[in-house]
């Protein structure tokens, strides 16, 4: 029994030595064919074999399966499975509503019900100088989980009169897989360089290795940041919602309105506009009375001053005419007296 165990141990040891020799020959052949990457990072010392390992780890990028994360032919199968693909969904919808406050309340409740949140909100109108009570509007950017997107869109579509809807799906699977492959390759090189750094004895080697490790850290952080951005856009869909408050929805029904209905609706719109015009003028006139009174006083004072100046100028002109007439009469009298004396 002992002899058989010893025989097995010897056979295992021989196999291990054989594998070691094959590995050594493989590494030596790789070191003889180093490219510019290895030559640019060749440190002093006896680490040529390890540098070959680092180069090999950097140059080899494993293929990635979008479905399982493993290499091989399963990549194509994963790409054909829609659930395994990386899809960024974006939508834009526009609404008209006669009940603005109710619409906004139901919208917020709908967002909360499906686990979403408002990324940004802009509201306009509704101030004291508004021409009407129904000129308010809101521009919302909503983020909802991708698995609740269809439910959310169905619920939102019934909140008001939907006047516009646009949806897009961007497939970023290849970009996502490519970034993951880069990260794995960089991590492999990073681990290899750390192992070499632990054995390095030359200061030049340490500095060169640390410089390359810092570059790898920066590249990996950049790629991981891109993946985090993709993950956010993929896991939460973006929905842009614009709602405008109106006194009458422009799309009351799905059917086409008749000629008579168009006339009636047009007359209602025009009468509504005329009424708003008078109302706006009344509001402007009443609220502007203080300014109008001030300007009335200023204009009245200016008119009185101008009239006084004109009147004074007229009197002076009349007086000059009278004086000229008197002088002319005196000259005539003097002339007559002179003629009589002669």
Output the CA angle 14-18-20, nearest 5 degrees: 115
Is residue 23 included in any domain, yes or no?
no
Q: How many residues does the chain have?
A: 342
Same domain membership, residue 47 and residue 170 = yes
Same domain membership, residue 239 and residue 199 = yes
For residue 129, what pLDDT is reported? 54
Is residue 26 included in any domain, yes or no?
no
Is residue 58 included in any domain, yes or no?
yes
Task: Find the range with the poorest average confidence among 6-10, 23-27, 48-52, 137-141.
Answer: 6-10
Same domain membership, residue 191 and residue 49 = yes
Q: How far is CA 226 from CA 69, 230, 253, 331, in A?
A: 18, 6, 45, 110
pLDDT digits (tens, 9 = 90+) for 44-99: 344 443 444 444 444 444 444 444 444 434 445 444 566 688 999 999 999 999 88
Is residue 95 included in any domain, yes or no?
yes
For residue 115, what pLDDT is reported? 94
Question: CA 84 to CA 76: how far, in whole Å?
Answer: 11
Q: Within 13 Å and on the Cβ side, how many CA atoms surround 51?
A: 23
Q: What average pLDDT does this structure show over 1-8?
A: 38
Give the distance from CA 79 to its chain's centroid: 30
Q: For 228, phi and psi rounded to 5 degrees? A: -65, -40
Is residue 11 included in any domain, yes or no?
no
Instruction: Report yes or no: 98 and 248 within 8 Å, Cβ to Cβ.
Output: yes
Same domain membership, residue 287 and residue 201 = no
pLDDT confidence band for 261 (50 / 70 / 90)? confident
Same domain membership, residue 237 and residue 277 = no
Sign of CA dihedral 65, 68, 72, 75: negative
Same domain membership, residue 103 and residue 56 = yes
Angle, to 10 degrees, between the axis of helix 149-157 and the axis of helix 100-113? Answer: 160
Same domain membership, residue 65 and residue 183 = yes
| Residue 209 scores a pLDDT above 60 | yes
Q: What average pLDDT does this structure show over 316-321?
A: 81
Same domain membership, residue 291 and residue 198 = no
Question: CA 240 to CA 277: how far, in whole Å?
Answer: 33
Same domain membership, residue 203 and residue 145 = yes
| Residue 260 scores a pLDDT above 50 | yes
Same domain membership, residue 134 and residue 105 = yes
For residue 250, what pLDDT is reported? 67
DSSP 19-55: HHHHHHHHHHHHHHT--HHHHHT--SSS-HHHHHHHH
Is residue 9 included in any domain, yes or no?
no
Is residue 3 included in any domain, yes or no?
no
pLDDT confidence band for 149 (50 / 70 / 90)? very high
Is residue 331 included in any domain, yes or no?
no
Question: CA 238 to CA 151: how far, in whole Å?
Answer: 14
Burial class (CB in 10 A: 0-12, 13-18, 19+), 261: exposed
Same domain membership, residue 138 and residue 47 = yes
| Residue 152 scores a pLDDT above 90 | yes
Of residues 14 and 246, the one with the higher pLDDT is: 246
For residue 271, the surrounding DSSP H or E stretch is helix 259-287
Instruction: Report yes or no: 241 and 152 within 8 Å, Cβ to Cβ.
Output: no
Q: What average pLDDT does this structure show over 108-136?
A: 80
Same domain membership, residue 281 and residue 227 = no
Residue-number span of the structural domain to which 200 is assigned: 38-252
Instruction: Report yes or no: 97 and 161 within 8 Å, Cβ to Cβ.
Output: yes
């Amino acid at each position: 029994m002992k002899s058989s165990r010893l025989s097995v141990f010897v056979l295992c040891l021989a196999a291990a030595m054989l594998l070691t020799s094959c590995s050594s020959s493989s590494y030596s052949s790789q070191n003889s064919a180093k490219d510019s990457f290895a030559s640019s990072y060749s440190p002093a010392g006896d680490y040529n074999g390890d540098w070959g390992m680092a180069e090999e780890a950097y140059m080899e990028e494993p293929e990635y399966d979008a479905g399982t994360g493993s290499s091989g032919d399963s990549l194509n199968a994963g790409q054909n499975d829609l659930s395994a693909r990386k899809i960024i969904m974006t939508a834009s919808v526009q609404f008209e509503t006669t009940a603005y406050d109710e619409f906004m309340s139901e919208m917020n409740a709908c967002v909360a019900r499906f686990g979403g949140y408002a990324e940004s909100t802009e509201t306009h109108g509704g101030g004291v100088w508004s021409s009407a009570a129904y000129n308010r509007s809101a521009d919302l950017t909503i983020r909802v989980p991708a698995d609740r997107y269809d439910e959310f869109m169905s619920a939102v579509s019934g909140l008001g009169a939907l006047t516009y809807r646009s949806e897009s799906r961007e497939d970023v699977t290849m970009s996502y897989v490519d970034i993951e492959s880069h990260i794995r390759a960089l991590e492999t090189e990073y681990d290899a360089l750390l192992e070499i750094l632990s054995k390095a004895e030359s200061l030049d080697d340490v500095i060169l290795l640390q410089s390359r490790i810092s570059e790898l850290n920066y590249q990996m952080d950049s790629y991981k940041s891109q993946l985090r951005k993709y993950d956010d856009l993929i896991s939460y869909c973006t929905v842009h919602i614009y709602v405008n408050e109106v006194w009458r929805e422009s799309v009351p029904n799905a059917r086409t309105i008749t000629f008579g209905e168009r006339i009636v609706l047009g007359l209602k719109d025009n009468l509504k506009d005329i009424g708003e015009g008078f109302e706006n003028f009344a509001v402007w006139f009443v609220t502007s009375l203080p300014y109008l009174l001030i300007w009335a006083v200023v204009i009245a004072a200016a008119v009185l001053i101008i009239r006084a100046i004109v009147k004074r100028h007229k009197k002076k002109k009349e007086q000059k005419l009278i004086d000229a007439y008197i002088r002319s009469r005196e000259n005539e009298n003097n002339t007559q007296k002179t003629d009589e004396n002669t």
